[in-house]
Amino acid sequence: MNNPIKIGTRNSPLALWQANFIAQKLEQNGLKTELVPITSTGDKILHKSLAKIGSKGVFTQDLEAMLDKGEIHIAVHSAKDIPTQTNQYQIIAFTHREMVQDVILSHDPNALQRESVKIGTSATRRIGFVKHYFPNARQVEVRGNLQTRLKKLEDQHCDALILAFAGVKRIEKESFIIKHLPIDTFVPPAGQGSIGIQAHIHLPSELTMAIRSHINDPISETCITLERALLSELGGGCSIPIFAHAMVLNERQQIKFTAGIISLDGQEMIKNEVQGPLSATHQILHQMVEELEQNGVLQLLTKVKNQL
């Protein structure tokens, strides 16, 4: 391909970091690239929570429209932002996953010792976990890209922030981390830590395979595909407090899959763990869905949706 691969991206610093990372990977392998940055709908509407504006595709729909029109060849997203119902789009690659845990940032190393510490987050999963594991904390609504949220921390809108470690590392703000949250309690959402490459289903197969061969990490793809399949089975999206994390236990080539849902007030949590061979993800998914349903996940899911 003589013409550059046009890479669509949000224009936030983190999104641009991710797009440049992909561009560098492709250019190192002899492919020309061109970034096409935009401001997404999700970046424009900051006065409402994702749950209120309808989060399915709020960070991806504008780039998907550009894929439809042929204005870009691929779109680069945080994998956790890509809707599970992709219609005429396909995810052609997932990058090697960064550490997946959430972290707490603050300018005060002792912020969590404060009475009624104000913790900033707008993600429903994190809100539920904060209320469950930090019952004395006050949750403060904080929307926007990482720079916007960090500015609110600096302006003392909150005492601390919960963010994904991967994003914090990528924009070099690790010095503000005061706590790494363990993934067995603050279980991540589907896809956290990886970058997903989205394309139209009509992208030429030779270009698809070239991009995939230079970007895709098979283990990350297997784990994230399993997590996203659970979201699809349960009908969840970014505004639903579902958590799902799969990891490979290398010494046994086993997958450990942890998933569930937490109520918005943090009082109810349904959580399950399934392990099985790396080659048996369909069976692992079926077992997880079956056991979660036996434990009442659909009833809690309906309750949560009615509250949003």
Q: Is residue 189 part of a domain?
A: no
Do 34 and 150 reside in the same domain of the chain? no
pLDDT at 302 over 50: yes
Mean pLDDT on 187-213: 97
Do 43 and 162 reside in the same domain of the chain? no
pLDDT tens per residue across span 129-184:
999 999 999 999 998 888 899 999 999 999 999 999 999 999 999 999 999 999 99
pLDDT tens per residue across span 34-59:
999 998 665 555 445 555 445 556 67
pLDDT tens per residue across span 57-78:
667 889 999 999 999 999 999 9
Q: Is residue 291 part of a domain?
A: yes
Do 69 and 205 reside in the same domain of the chain? yes
Do 114 and 248 reside in the same domain of the chain? no
Query: For position 277, what pLDDT does the model report?
Result: 95
Query: For position 257, what pLDDT does the model report?
Result: 98
| CATH number, residue 21 | 3.40.190.10
Active site residues: 81
Q: Is residue 246 part of a domain?
A: yes
Query: For position 145, what pLDDT does the model report?
Result: 85
Distance separating the N- and C-terminal Cα atoms of the chain: 47
Q: Is residue 175 part of a domain?
A: yes
Q: What is the count of structural domains for the chain?
A: 3
Do 81 and 114 reside in the same domain of the chain? no
Do 259 and 212 reside in the same domain of the chain? no
Best CA proximity match to 194, nearest among 223, 173, 174: 223
Do 259 and 112 reside in the same domain of the chain? no
Query: For position 47, what pLDDT does the model report?
Result: 47
Residue identified by tokens 């998907």 is 64
pLDDT tens per residue across span 106-129:
999 999 999 899 999 999 999 999
pLDDT tens per residue across span 213-229:
999 999 999 999 999 99
Nearby residues of 246 by Cβ (< 8 Å), 6 or more positions away: 222, 223, 224, 226, 227, 255, 256, 257, 258
- Calculate the average pLDDT of the chain: 92
| CATH number, residue 301 | 3.30.160.40
Query: For position 56, what pLDDT does the model report?
Result: 52
Mean pLDDT on 186-212: 97
Question: Quick one: what percent of the chain has pLDDT higher than 70?
Answer: 93
Strand-pairing partners, residue 94, are 196
Range of the domain at 142: 102-180
Give the DSSP letter string of the chain: --SPEEEEEESSHHHHHHHHHHHHHHHHTT--EEEEEE--HHHH--SS-HHHH--TTTTTHHHHHHHHHTS-SEEEEEGGGS-S--TTEEEEEEPPPPP--EEEE-SSTTGGGSTT-EEE---HHHHHHHHHH-TT-EEE---S-HHHHHHHHHTTS-SEEEEEHHHHHHTT-GGGEEEEPPTTTSPPPTTTT-EEEEEETTS-HHHHHHHHHHH--HHHHHHHHHHHHHHHHHT--TTS-EEEEEEEETTTTEEEEEEEEE-TTSS-EEEEEEEEETT-HHHHHHHHHHHHHHTTHHHHHHHHHHH-
Q: Is residue 226 part of a domain?
A: no
Q: Is residue 31 part of a domain?
A: yes
**Confidence bin at 21 (pLDDT 50/70/90):** very high
Best CA proximity match to 276, nearest among 294, 257, 291: 257
Do 257 and 119 reside in the same domain of the chain? no
Q: Is residue 223 part of a domain?
A: no
Query: For position 151, what pLDDT does the model report?
Result: 92
